[in-house]
Amino acid sequence: LEVLGAPIINHEKEWKGVVLVFHDITELKHLEQMRKDFVANVSHELKTPITSIRGFSETLLQGAMEDEALREQFINIILKESERLQSLIHDLLELSKLEKEGFHLNIESVSLKQLIEDIVPIVEQQAKEKDITMNQNIYEGETIRADSARLKQVVMNMLTNAINYTPQQGEVGIELHSNDNYMEIIIKDTGIGIPEEDIPRIFERFYRVDKARSRNSGGTGLGLAIVKHIVEAHEGWIEVESEYQKGTAFHIYLPKKFTKT
């Protein structure tokens, strides 16, 4: 709480009282704290791969280069960490674009069926490598007004997550349904699930249930924050159902009558 005070004085310079203004700054403080946490998180996330790239390069220059097996191992680590940095910077720029005021969607007529059918083959290879079965249940439905490139990003992100967080031989499914006023995309998996207490936080920037697991699968911890922004920019919303160790289903709702142009 912030309190500002000022005396009330009339024309005769008599003291008549005092005005007190109470400002509830909890929300402001909270936003300020979130901003600080974000900057701290970004710095930490950038530092980790850089420290590793630098360390392994130095070790190579100090003689590890002579050992063929070590050389290959270290260079592979450097490559992996550089790729990590690249995805991190890419996702950070995306997020910053989406959070900018006046962020613009390229609205056109989009067939969600077509959009899903374009994306599935791209992730199918990843699924195959883990022996994961991909199921599709796609209702033709009507076209909606939407930003096709942005929605592709959403579907791609959700399917990649579903594959990443599902063990070998599991199943990943994508469905498209048409409801009264909105289209519904469901992405579900038979994966590791999300503990109930973590569900409300997974859309926060950099929030991960298991940091190591997310890192190993190439995750940046920004994917769902990006997805949420895009869906909400379309006046839609996302719901999550998950059972720990059993699987997860994300439901994305997109209005058929999108009012913005």
* 49 is a site residue for ligand ADP (CB under 6 A): no
Stretch that binds ligand ADP, among 20-28, 42-50, 93-101, 192-200 (CB under 6 A): 192-200
Closer CB to ligand ADP, residue 148 or residue 220?
220
Closer CB to ligand ADP, residue 146 or residue 162?
162
Cα–chain center distance at 172: 19
The least distance separating ligand ADP from the CB of residue 251, rounded to whole angstroms, comes to: 13
The least distance separating ligand ADP from the CB of residue 187, rounded to whole angstroms, comes to: 8
Report d(CA 53, CA 51) in Å as an integer: 6
Cα–chain center distance at 212: 17
Among 224, 230, 231, 254, binds ligand ADP (CB under 6 A): 224
Report d(CA 195, CA 199) in Å as an integer: 7
Among 146, 214, 234, 236, binds ligand ADP (CB under 6 A): 214
* 94 is a site residue for ligand ADP (CB under 6 A): no
Question: Closest Cα partner for 169 from 223, 130, 141?
Answer: 130
Q: Which two tokens stand for residue 80?
A: 């992996």
Total residues at the site for ligand ADP (CB under 6 A)?
Answer: 22
* 220 is a site residue for ligand ADP (CB under 6 A): yes
In sequence order, the β-bridge partners of residue 243 are: 247
Which residue, judged by CB position, is nearest to ligand ADP in the bound state?
219
Q: In this structure, are residues 118 and 174 in contact, taking their beta carbons and an 8 Å threshold?
A: no
Question: Closest Cα partner for 83 from 217, 211, 189?
Answer: 217
- The 116-135 contact track toward ligand ADP, x by CB under 6 A, reads --------------------
- The 143-182 contact track toward ligand ADP, x by CB under 6 A, reads ------------------xx--x-----------------
The least distance separating ligand ADP from the CB of residue 212, rounded to whole angstroms, comes to: 10
Q: Which two tokens stand for residue 227?
A: 């997805």
**Orientation angle between helical segments 68-99 and 26-61, nearest 10 degrees:** 160
* 185 is a site residue for ligand ADP (CB under 6 A): no
Query: Residue 216: which residues within 8 A CB-CB, separation 6 or more?
Result: none
Is 154 in a helix, a strand, or coil? helix
User: CA torsion angle for 120, 121, 122, 123 (degrees, to 10)?
Assistant: 60
* 248 is a site residue for ligand ADP (CB under 6 A): yes
Question: Closest Cα partner for 118 from 143, 82, 151?
Answer: 151
Question: Closest Cα partner for 134 from 189, 184, 177, 176?
Answer: 189
The least distance separating ligand ADP from the CB of residue 216, rounded to whole angstroms, comes to: 10
Among 49, 170, 221, 236, binds ligand ADP (CB under 6 A): 221
Closer CB to ligand ADP, residue 183 or residue 187?
187
The residues binding ligand ADP (CB under 6 A) are: 161-162, 165, 189, 191-194, 202, 207-210, 214, 219-225, 248
